Structure 1
Amino acid sequence: MAEEQTIVLGGGCFWCTEAVFKEVRGITDVESGYCNGQVERPSYEAVCTGQTGHAEVVRLRFDPAQISLRQILEIFFVVHDPTQLNRQGNDVGTQYRSGIYFTTPAQEAEARAFLAELAAQKTFPRPVVTELQPLSNYWPAEDYHQDFFEKNPYQGYCMAVAAPKVAKFRKTFAELQRP
């Protein structure tokens, strides 16, 4: 059996990204957090100022025997817009940047090849601006951010932004949805 791996993804608001990946078969844990900034133990309020350098992210633990990193990246690139620099929809700021934060050299190589493939195939109408960086200075988000969509499905933002991303995942990747 392959050993569990960790990858961290930033695709805008972590509520949305978390909501999608909680439904993915082979993902064993999803945690909203902040990474690649300069401040220790940043708060949501501090990250929202854009002054800490952190991205809002989800830390995914996954079983590579059930889901590959490539499949995770395919989902990620369907449920967010990787061509928007420092924003996703109405969420604007460096904390909402698109990013892949790897934890092993093999993940870096696979993600780099995947990004090159997207560019070569001109998958998107504009260039992909997703940053590819080693994971650093990761901190879990506050408890009230964890499982936010699951706990607040009728909250306005969840209904308007997160729910359509979850629906898109379900439609596009039905075979990868948890039973």
Structure 2
Amino acid sequence: MSTNKKAYIAGGCFWGMEDLFRVRPGIKDTEVGYIGGENEHPTYRSHPGHAEGIEITYDPTETSFKHILDYFFRIHNPTTVDRQGNDVGSSYRSAIFFQNDEEKTEAEDIIKIVNASHKWDGQVATTLEPYSKFWAAEPEHQDYLIKKPNGYTCHFERFDQSFI
């Protein structure tokens, strides 16, 4: 019986987020897709209101939701609204899709810690949204930066040290 858990986040283009998370300790699988929007069966060309998100499968004996969020806030700019790098629009919003009250509380706590750190010039604009159905993106978007190692990404580790 698997004890793995899933986390759902969005922080700009899903290619770069997936590429950095896939190699983190305790991360067992990643999948990019669409979450938090208006239509069923969204696609890259039609996903109104959906964020480009990532589903992270992790082993809670090796990492935690809190540590996933800590890394999340170090690899994208959470102070910009609907924008990461060259990508603009609600598809590129910073969001945490919480599945229960515990995840929501942990997300709120991490946001307070990130804001108090003053590592970013502004306040965190990351939205906390209740989990909704995650729709896997098309196969060509999965593991994109492995398939195209020189492909576009605006994600990188901005801080060496953890917030927590």
CA distance in 1, matches of 2:5, 2:108: 17
Q: What do the CA deviations read for 1:87-112 (whole angstroms, capped 9, x no partner)?
A: 00110000000011112221111111
Instruction: Judging by fraction of residues, say which structure has more helix.
Output: 1
Give the aligned partner of residue 84 of structure 2.
88
Identity %: 38
Task: Identify which range, 133-142 or 8-17, moves more after superposition.
Answer: 133-142
**Number of residue pairs matched?**
161
Q: CA RMSD in A?
A: 2.0
Q: What amino acid maps onto 2:35 in structure 1?
A: C
Instruction: Flag structure 1 segments of 5+ consecutive residues without an equivalent.
Output: 174-179
1:60 to 56, 63, 69: 56
CA distance in 2, matches of 1:2, 1:39: 31
CA distance in 2, matches of 1:4, 1:72: 14
- SS where residue 74 of structure 1 aligns? helix
Task: Give the TM-score normalised by the residue count of structure 2.
Answer: 0.90
The aligned runs of 1:47-126 (5 Å cut-off) are 47=47, 52-126=48-122
The aligned runs of 1:115-154 (5 Å cut-off) are 115-154=111-150
> Is 1:30–1:61's contact at 8 Å kept on the other side of the alignment?
yes
Task: Give the TM-score normalised by the residue count of structure 1.
Answer: 0.83
